[in-house]
Structure 1
Amino acid sequence: MDVEEVDPVSGRKTTGHVWNGIKELDTPIPRGVLLFLIVTHVFAVLWWFLMPTWPLGATYTKGLLGSDQKTSVEENLRDANAARVPWIKQIETKSYDEIRSDEQLMVKVRSNGHQLFGDNCAACHGRDGKGGRNYPDLTDDDWLWGGGPERIAQTLTVGVNSRHPDSRIGQMPAFGRDEMLDRQQVSDVAAYVRSLSDPTTSTAANIGQIDKGREVFVTTCVACHGEDAKGNPEVGAPNLTDQHWIYGGSLQTIIDTIHGGRQGHMPTWDERLTPVEIKVLALYVNALAQKEP
């Protein structure tokens, strides 16, 4: 019969295991740990019966409490939708002007419009609506297709150069690539266009070129951009006299645009968003460009 060895320091028995000369004490599991394990096992068994747990083919045990997260989420959604009904009804029935004059409704528009914008528009126009390279800034009150909420709602509904049958169609022809203008004419009209938004670029050294560019503009560009070059929202032609550019306003960029053309794309949202959501989003986007008094 083996004689049990006792550690002379702690007075505890050893297990007989030795690692690198160190003997393992036969120390019992702390009672706190045992109590914790017992409590967790009891809790787990109770939870099996109280909450939905066991799969039964196409269904599952519902639990004695009859509560689950799916039911809670559905109830929360019903409550949220019920709270939205009154103001949603007002958005549906009131005109854009009536809504904009109702500050309480506009609070709802700004709150819900911000969420709609972030979910659907921010990928191109940025969270702040200031756009980015090749995407328009929606906060500058400079619009291709018109900035009234009705016009914005129409653009959202049908898109631009989209697959919608009523899509807005807008395109800047490739005057250079398609040989409608020669290289010198492209350079001349680009210099003229640049001088419209930045008169400081017109100097004694290039005034002759700018005059020639004006002649090209009159014969080639006024049909879309107008004689005053301030654009035409009916065809999505931009104002060329301000400092707001989608693709850039440097001379080389303007030359590239005239030479190779541009054709932007705005998706149609009538299949993704409801008419009320489009109306809210149109009001929100319109408000982004409103200047503070």
Structure 2
Amino acid sequence: MADTKKEQDKAEEYGTTGHEWDGIREYDTPMPRWWLWTFYATIVWAVIYVILFPAIPLVNGATPGLLGFSTRGQLAEEMQAARDANAEIDSQLVAAELTEISADPELQRYAMAGGAAVFKTYCAQCHGAGAAGVQAAGYPNLLDDDWLWGGDIEAIHQTITHGIRWEADPDTRFSQMPAFGEILEGEEIDALTAHVLAISGQDHDAGLAATGAELYAENCASCHGDAGMGDREQGAPNLTDAIWLYGGSEEEIHETITYSRYGIMPPWQDRLTEAQIRQVSAYVHGLGGGE
């Protein structure tokens, strides 16, 4: 009887919501005051936040807020502070001869550390996080000693600065291999392929390779050299080793001769500072493949 009386008193004090399940009624009791005041405080805080900070999304941005705060602006300030802190050593790096950077331990440490950060931000997408290239053909490995355009630090610096076959840059490295499928007959391309297989030490048809040697001398030696060792002034690869930018199988060599290749690398002089270009040049040169 006591429990029933207590329920009746509670129902009279608060009333019910009118909901009932199997005799169980839901009382219409008020929320705790501490919870209500907390809830009201969050509403006030939200209104103040919307007024002071960027909050409401618009078509081309968001409301700026009275304080004018911006995470992008904060990042820009922090980056500028870092640039200001490194201004002196950046000046030293830019003023130094490229070949003498490694002779200054402090400058070399700074260049390598900064170059690693630049590489991971801008270069790893094509050359891989470890600089060994990526799985897709056409992205060179920077760890070996096989360089199309030269692997000393000055050549690396020029390549990074002006890019490869970037027509908008008048100082870009530029060369173009003809698509011999438009020049030679199919059997001639087969013979050329056999010759390239022969000079690179792979299995080949000796008869076809002999014919291909004559075609090579007429069409390819001016760029790749009489022995197929390549020419870095023209970006012509060495055909006698086992390092292939676009693959060294018979099918891949045949495709390269038929359709040509035209790899492009963008210049970075408009996106990186001279100090950053020197840093990443030193970093790439120091990876093990630089000459």
TM over 0.5, shorter chain: yes
Higher helix proportion (structure 1 or 2): 2
TM-score where L is the length of structure 2: 0.79
Partner of 1:270: 269
TM-score where L is the length of structure 1: 0.79
Counterparts of 1:136 and 1:268, CA distance in 2: 16
Query: Which residue of structure 2 lines up, in the alignment, with residue 97 of structure 1?
Result: 99
Amino acid at match of 2:189: V
Quote the Cα distance in structure 1 between the aligned partners of 2:213 and 2:49.
82
Equivalent residue letter for 2:113: S
* Residue type at the aligned position of 2:164: V
Matched-pair identity in %: 35
Q: Does 1:196 align with 2:199?
A: yes
For the pair 1:260 / 2:263, whether they are aligned, the reply is: no
- Residue of 141, 146, 166 corresponding to 1:137: 141
Q: Distance in 1 between matches of 2:31 and 2:113?
A: 57
1:1-293, aligned counterparts within 5 Å? 8=6, 12-13=10-11, 14-15=15-16, 17-21=18-22, 22-37=24-39, 40=42, 61-62=66-67, 73=75, 75-131=77-133, 132-163=136-167, 164-175=169-180, 177-179=181-183, 181-199=184-202, 201-202=203-204, 206-290=205-289
1:12–1:26 CA contact under 8 A, matched in 2: no
Segment of structure 1 superposing worse, 123-132 or 143-152 = 123-132
Post-superposition Cα deviations, 1:190-222, rounded to whole Å, max 9, x if no partner, equal 1121222234x15xxx32222222232223221
1 CA distance for matches of 2:275 and 2:147? 23
Query: Residue 281 and residue 74 in structure 1: after superposition, are their counterparts in 2 closer, same or farther (change >3 A)?
Result: closer
Q: Is the 2:165–2:265 contact (alpha carbons within 8 Å) kept by the matching residues of 1?
A: yes
Structure 1, gaps ≥5 residues long:
1-5
The one-letter code sitting in structure 2 at the alignment partner of 1:212 is T
Q: 1:78 and 1:242, CA in 2 relative to 1: closer, same or farther beyond 3 A? A: same
Q: Is residue 170–residue 264 contact of structure 1 (8 Å, CA) maintained in 2?
A: no
- Aligned CA RMSD, in angstroms, stands at 3.3
Cα distance in 2 for partners of 1:191, 1:59 equals: 67
Which amino acid in the other structure matches residue 232 of structure 2? P
Long gaps (5+) in structure 2: 56-62
Instruction: Please identify, of 233-242 and 70-79, the stretch whose mean Cα deviation from structure 2 is larger.
Output: 70-79
Q: Structure 1 residues 124, 77: CA separation in 2 closer, same or farther (over 3 Å shift)? A: closer
